[in-house]
Amino acid sequence: MYCEKCGSQIENGLNFCPECGAPVAKVNSAASVAPAAAAAVTETVASTAVPTETVAPSYTEPTPAAQTNYQQPVNTAYQQPNYQQPSYQQPTYQQASYQANYSTPMSAGEAGRSPAKSALILGIIGLVLDFTTYFSIVGLILGIIGLVKASASKKAGFNGGLRGAGFGLSLAAVILGGIIVAIFGLVIVSAVLEEL
């Protein structure tokens, strides 16, 4: 037997269609099934002659004596479109021959690495010179230059530990150099005043 709503085949003894859930009409006798099957086939053939809309044909199971070879109508009015993805070709780039001395440009952070190294070296040398009393003024000047270099490194975007160490050592060289120069200056001034 076939479902009147969706047209799928239903096994005998079921009360509802397993595909759409529509209730199944009970068939009383074989004599009443044959005219109903013929009417369903005639109705389906008539509806396929003028395809205005797609309607699911209703079927009833014919008796073995009245079975006919029936094929469901094929609706050829709708055809799914064929989509093709456009082809993509990656552009090719040619490097000019005049760039023989090309070097990779440094990023903002890498550009500040060189001043940070300079600040670290100047801070170390400044601290060493601060402990030698006669050259503490040179250590003070190198510490000030180291602070300027550490500041330039920060402005260039380099915030690594190298810059922090250079800044700290240069600041220590400036402070220690300033104290030693001040003390050394007071000693000289007091010595000069004692002679007067």
Handedness of CA 42, 44, 45, 51 (dihedral sign): positive
> Does residue 121 sit in the same domain as residue 186?
yes
> Does residue 115 sit in the same domain as residue 42?
no
d(CA 72, CA 54): 12
Residue 1, domain extent: 1-68
Domains held by the chain: number = 2
| Tokens 């479109």 -> residue | 81
SS3 105: coil
> What would the pLDDT profile of 29-85 be if each residue is shown by its tens digit?
444 455 555 555 555 555 554 555 555 666 666 555 555 565 666 656 666 677 777
> Does residue 190 sit in the same domain as residue 135?
yes
DSSP 8-state class, residue 64: G
In the chain, what percentage of residues exceed pLDDT 90?
17
SS3 23: strand
> Does residue 125 sit in the same domain as residue 191?
yes
d(CA 163, CA 23): 84
Does this model's pTM top 0.85? no
> Does residue 47 sit in the same domain as residue 121?
no
